[in-house]
């Protein structure tokens, strides 16, 4: 009985942990979906396509999120303000206009996409001799921690469950042997 209750509570804890993991990821997930829907036709993260590779774009823009949002909403409008970088990138890409997204995406959605771009890391981390492997970002580290804890909890509950079955079986066998006497 005790073991059964313990197993139950561990399973409940695991479920709660797993749902925390997924709800934490919801926003990043939205950004990814939006990127794939609206931007991936012209942009890749690590390779130039119709438009430039977007990895590290936030730094290239001097971490100016407001300006980036302005660009995605209407790049022609930002170019017309005479912004130096916007004009540079426009000229570099042979004045190919980027689709304005002001009537397609809400500010929050543009920010979710830009967050996704900002947090994007190449699948295989480049190992640079001098700086060494970059430490995993905090959030990812925490998610990893939660995932590992969940796996451990599942293993513990399975072990408990099987030992419970074994105990039950032994008890039953004992009973039947005793009955014979
Ligand atoms: C029709 C193709 C097209 C689509 C779709 C598109 N872009 Fe672009 N994008 C471009 C081009 C081309 C440039 C280069 C600048 C120019 O010529 O206007 C660019 C430039 C950019 C830049 C500046 C890059 C740098 O290196 O500074 C950002 C940021 C950007 N796009 C974000 C986005 C986002 C976010 C989306 C999706 C919501 C998107 N783009 C969808 C074509 C596109």
pLDDT tens for residues 31-70? 999 999 999 999 999 999 999 999 999 999 999 999 999 9
* More confidently predicted of 177 and 107: 107
Q: Which atom of ligand 1 is nearest to the CA of 41?
A: 5
Q: Say how many CA atoms lie within 13 Å of 50 toward its Cβ.
A: 9
> Helices (H) and strands (E) in the chain — how many of each?
7, 0
CATH of the domain at 63: 1.10.760.10
b (16+ CB within 10 A) / e for 113-145: bbbbbbebeeeeeeeeeeeeeeeeeeeeeebee
What tens digit of pLDDT does each residue of 133-171 get?
A: 655 555 677 788 788 888 888 888 888 888 888 888 888
Q: What would the two tokens of residue 61 be?
A: 């823009």
Residue 72 has pLDDT above 70, yes or no: yes
Q: What would the two tokens of residue 96 be?
A: 């190919």
Spacing, Cα 124 to ligand 1 middle (Å): 25
Spacing, Cα 29 to ligand 1 middle (Å): 20
Whether residue 141 sits in one domain with residue 91: no
Q: Residues enclosing ligand 1, CB less than 6 A?
A: 38-39, 41-43, 50-52, 54, 57, 60, 68, 71-72, 75, 89-90, 93, 96-99, 101, 113
Q: What would the two tokens of residue 117 be?
A: 């771009």
Q: What would the two tokens of residue 127 be?
A: 């190992």
Residue among 33, 43, 102, 112 to mutate when testing ligand 1 (max atoms within 8 A of CB): 43
pTM (two decimals): 0.64
The verdict on residue 132 lying in a domain is no
Q: What is the pLDDT of residue 10?
A: 64
Spacing, Cα 54 to ligand 1 middle (Å): 8
The verdict on residue 35 lying in a domain is no
Q: What would the two tokens of residue 91 be?
A: 């000229």
Whether residue 106 sits in one domain with residue 79: yes
The verdict on residue 118 lying in a domain is yes
Alpha-carbon distance 177 to 140, whole Å?
55
| Domain extent at residue 149 | 1-25+137-181
Residue among 32, 35, 42, 68 to mutate when testing ligand 1 (max atoms within 8 A of CB): 42
The verdict on residue 33 lying in a domain is no
């Amino acid at each position: 009985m005790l073991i059964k209750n313990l197993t139950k509570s561990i399973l409940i804890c695991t479920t709660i942990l797993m749902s925390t993991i997924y709800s934490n990821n919801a926003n990043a997930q939205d950004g990814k979906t939006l990127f794939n829907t609206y931007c991936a036709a012209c942009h890749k993260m690590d390779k130039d396509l119709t438009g430039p590779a977007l990895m590290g774009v936030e730094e290239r823009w001097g971490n100016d999120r407001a300006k980036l949002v302005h660009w995605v909403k209407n790049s022609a409008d930002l170019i017309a303000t005479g912004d130096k970088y916007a004009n540079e990138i426009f000229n570099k890409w042979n004045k190919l206009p980027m689709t304005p997204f002001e009537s397609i995406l809400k500010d929050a959605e543009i920010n979710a996409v830009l967050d996704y771009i900002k947090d994007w890391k190449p699948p295989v981390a480049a190992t640079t001799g001098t700086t060494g492997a970059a430490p995993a970002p905090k959030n990812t580290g925490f998610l990893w921690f939660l995932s590992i804890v969940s796996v451990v909890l599942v293993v513990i509950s399975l072990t408990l469950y099987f030992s419970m079955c074994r105990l039950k079986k032994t008890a039953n066998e004992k009973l039947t042997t005793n009955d014979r006497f």
